[in-house]
Amino acid sequence: MIEFERVTKIYGEYTRALDNVTIRITKGEFVFLVGPSGAGKSTFARLLLREELPTKGQIIIDGVNTGKLRPREIPYLRRRIGTVFQDFRLLPERTVSENVAFALQVVEAPRREIFRRVPQVLHLVGLAQKSRSRPAELSGGEQQRAALARALVNNPPILLADEPTGNLDPETSWEIIKLLLEINQRGTTVVVATHAQEIVNKVRRRVVELERGRVVRDQEKGAYGNEI
């Protein structure tokens, strides 16, 4: 589903954000991408979303080489990847359901589809009761659920979560992770970049550890540290 082949990304002249990284993630996998800040997790996300191109190597997503995409094809790649961020990125002046519908409007989904999908996905993330609230009226966890609903409303085969629990307390974080696991159960490939140790240790899924731009560990059912 996602293949990074010997990917190197250099910023400026010397900063090697990723250094000869090879990662293969198959369809339906759940992967934690861990490592200290500056290890290259965000660069991985930017390259995956084709916000940038690798300096060397190639990235193949769902059979498509991102380096060979024409600019006007990029949006269609992004429709295949749902994204969630630490800061939620909701539009403050719109309600929860408007925020979710927005993602469908901008890909020109038919109105009937929007009316059908939005309540469905809000139900999935457990926000059906709050559909008419604005982001400011929600707790952090609820805001992240809304963001998750927006990421999923388009039915993307891949979900990328960049520090999804960074702004949440442990209990709420755990709820979000459970939701991500549930989404994964339904067949979506999920990549979570995080440095929340307890969660990684508790879930025991594949862990890819980055350090200074290199893959230093790639382990099935791994933990955050090397304590096994």
Partner 1 sequence: MKFSTWEFYLREAGRSLIRNRFMTLASISTVALSLLILGVFLLGAINLNHIASTLESQVEVSAYLEDELEKEETRAIKERVQGLAGVREVNFVSKEEALTRLKEQFGERQDLLASVEENNPLRNALEVRAETPDDVKSVVAELKKLPGVAKVSFKEEIIERLFALTKAIRLAGLAVVILLVGATIFLISNTIRLTVFARRREINIMKLVGATDWFIRWPFVLEGLCLGVLGSIPALLLVVRFYHWLAASVYETLPFIPLLHPGSVLNRLQLLLLGIGIIVGTLGSTISMRRFLRV
Contacting positions for partner 1 (CB under 8 A): 49, 71-72, 75-80, 83, 89, 91, 102-103, 105-108, 110-111, 150-151, 154
| Least distance to partner 1, CB of residue 75, Å | 4
Residue nearer to partner 1 on the CB measure, 102 or 128:
102
Residue nearer to partner 1 on the CB measure, 90 or 200:
90
Distance of CA 203 to the CA centre of its chain: 17
Q: Smallest Cα–Cα separation from 119: which of 104, 136, 139, 134?
A: 104
Q: CA–CA separation, 170 vs 21, rounded Å?
A: 31
Residue nearer to partner 1 on the CB measure, 108 or 220:
108
Residue nearer to partner 1 on the CB measure, 34 or 90:
90
| Least distance to partner 1, CB of residue 205, Å | 25
Q: Smallest Cα–Cα separation from 200: which of 217, 180, 220, 223?
A: 223
Residue nearer to partner 1 on the CB measure, 49 or 223:
49
Residue nearer to partner 1 on the CB measure, 77 or 128:
77
Inter-residue contact 125 to 85 (CB < 8 Å): no
Inter-residue contact 35 to 44 (CB < 8 Å): no
| Least distance to partner 1, CB of residue 51, Å | 8
| Least distance to partner 1, CB of residue 216, Å | 29
Q: CA–CA separation, 108 vs 221, rounded Å?
A: 40
Angle between helices 96-105 and 140-152 (to 10 degrees): 20
| Least distance to partner 1, CB of residue 159, Å | 13
| Least distance to partner 1, CB of residue 105, Å | 5
Instruction: Report, in angstroms and rounded to the nearest whole number, the Rg of the chain calculated over CA atoms.
Output: 17
Longest distance between any two alpha carbons in the chain, whole Å:
52
